[in-house]
Structure 1
Amino acid sequence: MQTRDMTSGSPARLLLQFALPLMLGNVFQQFYTFVDTMVVGQALGVGALAALGASEWLTFLMFGLVQGVVQGFSVAIAQRFGANDEEGMKKAVAGAVILSLGMAAAFTVLGQLMLRPVLTLLHTPEEIAGLSLSYLRILYGSLPVAFAYNLLAAILRAVGNSKTPLQAMTISSFCNIALDILFVFGFHLGIPGAAAATVLSQVLAALFCFIKLQGSGLLSLKRETCRPDRAMLREQLKLGLPMGLQNMITALGGLIVQSVINGFGVIFIAGYTAANKLYGLLEIAASSYGYAMSTYAGQNLGAARFDRIGRGLKAASIIGTATALMMSAVMLLFGRPVLGCFLTGDSAAAGAAMEIGYHFLQVLALFFPLLYILYIIRSCIQGLGNSVLPMVSSIAQLVMRTGCALLLPPLIGQSGVFYGEVCAWIGADLILVCSYYYWMHRLRR
C-alpha cells in the first residue's frame, strides 16, 4: 500500500499531490448526490426535490458528526506516522476502531428516535414531510456503514494515501448512479430508492478500502495492540469529539436556516436546494485541501518540523484562493444551465425556483475565497492537535448564520438568508487566523 511522507520536499507539490486524488474522489461523491437530486427532480418533480432539500441539513448533522469524529481519531495516526512510531500508530488504529464501533451503535439508535420530532420542529411542510422522513430513515439506518467507510478512508489519508479513497469513491459513484436510475426510473421506488442506492454504494466503497488496508498490516493488529489503551482513547476522544461537535454546530445553524426557509414555501425550498447542490460540488476542492493540510500539519508536528508548517499553510492558502476564484466564475457563468438540470414540471414554478437559486449562487460567488481559507486554516489547526479552537470558530459560524437568517429577511426580504452563509465564513476566518498564530506560538514554546 502506498504511503507518503510529507515531512520533506516542496510543500505546494506535496499538498497538491495529496489533494488532487481526494478532490477527484470527492467530485465523484458529490456527483452521485448531484445525480440523486437530478434524478429525483426530473422523475418526481419540484415537491420531491423540496423533500430532499428539507432533509439536507439533517443528513449533514449526523454524517458530518461521523466524518468529524473519525477525522479526529486519524490525527493521532498521522502524528505517529510522522514520528515513525509504528507501535503507537497501530494502537491509534485500534483505538479508532473501538471508538467507532461504540459510536456507530449509539448514533444509529439516537438518529432513528430523533427524526420525526426534528422534522416537525423544523416546520417541514406537510406535503413533503413524509417523503423527507422515508429518505432519512434509510440513510440513518446505514450509519454503521458510514462509520466503516469514513474510518477506513481516514486511516489511509493519515499515512499519506489519498489514491485508494479516490478509487473507492469512483467505483461507488458509478454504482450509485446506475442504481439511482434503476431504482427510481426503472423500479419506480421514488425517494426511498435514491436513498437505498446511496447506502449500497457506500457499502461497496467501505469493502474496497478494507481489502486494501488488509494487505498493509495496519489492520493486522496483535493482541497487545488491540487491547484498549486508555491514554490513546482519551487522546482520540479529545481530538474527535470537538471535531464532530464542530460539524454538528455547523449543521445546527443550517437547520435553523432551513426552518426559516421552510416557511417560505416549496418553490423557495426547491430553488435553494438546487443551488446548494452546485455549491456543494464547487466546495469539494476546499475540503480536499483541508484534508491535505491536516495530514501535512500532523506529520510535520510529529517530526517537529515547525518551519515547514507555516510554509505549507502559505502554499495551501495561495492554491486555495486561486481555485476559489475559478469556482466563483463557474457559478456565475454556468449557474443557470446547471440549475435547469434539477428543475422540471410546471414552468412557472420551475422558473421562479431557478431565479431564487441563481441569486443565492451570485451571493456565494462574490466571497468564495473566504470559504477556502476557512477550510485550510481550520484543518491545519486540527492537524496540529487542537480541535477546540476550530470548534469555537464553528460557534461563530452558528451565530452569524442564524443571526442573519432570523434578522435580515424582515428587513430585505427572503433573500436575506443567503447572506448568513457569507457572514459565517467571515466570522470563522477571523477567529481561525488568530487561533493559528496563538497555537503555533504555544507549540514553539
Structure 2
Amino acid sequence: MRAAKFLRGIFTSGAQSLTEGSIPLLLTRYAIPFMGANFLQALYGAADMIIVGQFTDAAGLSAVSIGSQFIFMINSVVIGLATGGSIMIGHSFGGGREKDISETIGTMLSLFIMMSVAITLFLPFFTDSIVTLLGTPQEAFSSAKGYIMINTIGISTMFAYNALSAIFRGFGDSTSPLIFVAVACIANVLGDMALVGALGMGAEGAALATVLAQGLSAFLSVVYAKRADYRFDFKLSSLRIKAERLKRLLRVGLPMAIQFSLTSISFMFIMATVSKMGGVTASAAVGITSKINGFTMLPPVSFSGAISGMVAQNIGAGKPKRARRTLYVGAAISLAFGAATFVGLFFFPQSVIRIFTPDVGLIAATALYLRSFSLDCILVCFVFCLNGFFNGCGKTAFTMANNVFSAFAVRVPATWLLSGIRGASLFSVGFAAPLASLQSIIFSILYLKSGRWKKK
C-alpha cells in the first residue's frame, strides 16, 4: 500500500508547490518523471541510430550522427529559452504572481512561433554549406543533407514540444512531459521501422519519422494543457509578446540558449576533427558514444532539471537555504548513478556498443573512445547539478560563461591537441571531455562559495 501511494505521488500530474516538505522526497518525486522523460527522449534519438545501423552501413550511421548533431544545436537554443521560461514560471508560481505566469507563457509561445517560421523558411537554403562545414565524409554527404533538410522543415514540432514541457515543469509537473515524450518515442520507433526498415529510406526516413512523432506529441500536449489549469487559455488572442516579459525571458533564457548551442557546436568541431583523423568509422564511433552518453547522463541531467525547478520556486518564495540544500541532495543521488555507470562503460563497453552495430571494427573503435570518455560519467554529476542550481537562481549568465569557456578553451583545444599527437587514437581523444568537466567544476565551486548566487 505504501509503495502504491508513493508511486501515485511520483506520477501525479498538475501543478505542485516545492517550497515545503522533505527535500529528498520532493526532489526524487520531481526527478523520477524527469528522468523517465529524458530516458525516453534519449531512446527516441537512439532509435534512429539503432534502426539505421541495422538496415544500412557505417555511412548511414555517420549521416544520422552528423545530422543529429546539427539539429541538436538548434534544439539547444530552444531548450535554453524554454528553460528560461520554465524558471520564470517557477519564480512567479512560487511567489503567487498569477498575471506574470500568463504573460510569460504568452510571450514564450509567441517568440517560439516566430523563430520556427523563420528557421523553416530560410535554413533549407544553407543545407549544403552546413553539411560541408561539418566535415561530413563524402559517402555520407547526401544522406546527412536529407536528414537535416527534413528536420529543418518540421522544426516547429520540436519548438512546440519544448515550450509545453517548460510550462508543465514550471508548475512543478514533471509527469506530463513524461507521458507526451512516451507517445513520441513509440511513434518514432514505429515510424523508423516502417520508413527505414520496410521502405529502405535510410537517414531521411529516420528524420521523417522524428518529425511526425514530434508533431503528434505536440498536438496532444496542447490538447491536455488547454483542459488543465496552467493559468493560460491557449487562445490566439493571448499570444502576445509583453516587452518586460520578453526582456526577462531573454536575460534568463538566452545565456542558456547560447551555452547549449555553443556546447553543441564544440561537439561538432570534435566530430569534424575526429572525422579527419579516422574517417567514417571514427565519426560513427563518436556518434554512437554520443547516443550512449545520452543514456548515461540521464541521472545528472534529470536531477539538474529537478534542482533547477525546485530551486526556482524556493528562490521565488525567499528560501535560499532550502535551495542550497536541494543542490547537495541532488548531487549526492546523481553521483551514485554516475559511479555505477562509469564502472559498466569502462570495463564492459562492447556489450553496450553491440546494440547499435554488428560491425566488429566499429565496435572496437567505439570501445576505445568510450573507455576514456566514461570518466566524464562521474564528473558531470557535479557539473549538471551545479548548473541546475545556478540556473534555478536565475544566474544563467554564469553557467553560460563557465560552460562556453569549458567547451572552447578546454574541450575543443584538448581534442585537437590529443588527436595530433603522434600515434594518437580514439582512446587518447576521449580524455578531452573529462578535462573540460573538471575545469567547469572548479569554477562553479568558487562561484558557489562567493555567495553571489543569492543576489537578485
TM-score, with length taken from structure 2: 0.92
Matched, 1:98 2:110: yes
Q: 1:303 to 1:222 in 2, by over 3 A?
A: farther
1:265 to 279, 283, 292: 279
Contact kept, 8 Å, 1:122 with 1:262, in 2: the verdict is: no
Matched, 1:39 2:51: yes
Contact kept, 8 Å, 1:74 with 1:96, in 2: the verdict is: no
Q: CA deviation at 1:106?
A: 2.5
Aligned to 2:10: none
Q: 1:158 to 1:353 in 2, by over 3 A?
A: same
Q: Distance in 2 between matches of 1:442 and 1:195?
A: 41
Q: CA deviation at 1:221?
A: 6.2
Matched, 1:174 2:211: no
Q: CA deviation at 1:333?
A: 4.9
Aligned to 1:347: none
Encode CA deviations 1:27-62: one digit per residue, 9 max, x unaligned: 112112222111111101222112222223212211
Q: CA deviation at 1:166?
A: 0.6
2:440 to 403, 422, 428: 428
Matched, 1:250 2:260: no
Q: CA deviation at 1:288?
A: 1.1
Aligned to 2:169: 157
Name stretches of at least 5 consecutive residues in structure 2 with no aligned partner.
1-12
Aligned to 2:90: 78
Q: Distance in 1 between matches of 2:440 and 2:446?
A: 10
Q: CA deviation at 1:244?
A: 0.6
Contact kept, 8 Å, 1:93 with 1:219, in 2: the verdict is: yes
Encode CA deviations 1:90-125: one digit per residue, 9 max, x unaligned: 111111112212222223345323332122123211
Equivalent residues in 2 for 1:312-323 (5 A)? 312-323=326-337
Q: 1:226 to 1:248 in 2, by over 3 A?
A: closer
Equivalent residues in 2 for 1:280-359 (5 A)? 280-344=294-358, 350-359=359-368
Q: Distance in 2 between matches of 1:205 and 1:361?
A: 33
Aligned pairs, how many?
A: 439
| Aligned AA (1:393) | N
Further displaced range: 306-315 or 426-435: 426-435
Aligned to 1:141: 153
Contact kept, 8 Å, 1:156 with 1:162, in 2: the verdict is: yes
Q: Distance in 1 between matches of 2:343 and 2:199?
A: 39
Q: Distance in 2 between matches of 1:333 and 1:295?
A: 35
Counterpart secondary structure, 1:61: helix
Q: CA deviation at 1:226?
A: 5.2
| Aligned AA (1:404) | A
Aligned to 2:391: 382
Aligned to 1:410: 420
Counterpart secondary structure, 2:136: coil
Q: Distance in 1 between matches of 2:236 and 2:77?
A: 30
Q: CA deviation at 1:368?
A: 1.4
Q: Distance in 1 between matches of 2:383 and 2:360?
A: 33
Q: Distance in 2 between matches of 1:221 and 1:50?
A: 40
Encode CA deviations 1:273-300: one digit per residue, 9 max, x unaligned: 2222211111122211111011111100
Further displaced range: 82-91 or 156-165: 82-91
Further displaced range: 128-137 or 392-401: 392-401
CA RMSD of aligned residues (A): 1.9
Encode CA deviations 1:119-147: one digit per residue, 9 max, x unaligned: 21232111111111101111121211111
| Aligned AA (1:377) | L
Matched, 1:443 2:454: yes
Counterpart secondary structure, 2:361: helix
Counterpart secondary structure, 1:341: coil
Q: 1:436 to 1:337 in 2, by over 3 A?
A: same
Counterpart secondary structure, 1:385: coil
Contact kept, 8 Å, 2:92 with 2:316, in 1: the verdict is: yes
Aligned to 1:205: 217
Q: Distance in 1 between matches of 2:374 and 2:264?
A: 21
Percent identity between the aligned chains? 24
1:220 to 229, 233, 249: 233
Aligned to 1:240: 253
Q: Distance in 2 between matches of 1:221 and 1:44?
A: 43
Q: CA deviation at 1:223?
A: 9.4
Q: CA deviation at 1:228?
A: 3.1
Contact kept, 8 Å, 2:350 with 2:367, in 1: the verdict is: yes
Q: CA deviation at 1:437?
A: 3.4
Q: Distance in 2 between matches of 1:442 and 1:377?
A: 11
Contact kept, 8 Å, 2:86 with 2:170, in 1: the verdict is: yes
Further displaced range: 250-259 or 217-226: 217-226
Matched, 1:124 2:133: no
Contact kept, 8 Å, 1:300 with 1:309, in 2: the verdict is: yes
Contact kept, 8 Å, 1:149 with 1:202, in 2: the verdict is: yes
Equivalent residues in 2 for 1:388-403 (5 A)? 388-398=397-407, 399-403=409-413
Aligned to 1:112: 124
Q: CA deviation at 1:222?
A: 8.4
Contact kept, 8 Å, 1:90 with 1:221, in 2: the verdict is: no
Counterpart secondary structure, 2:374: helix
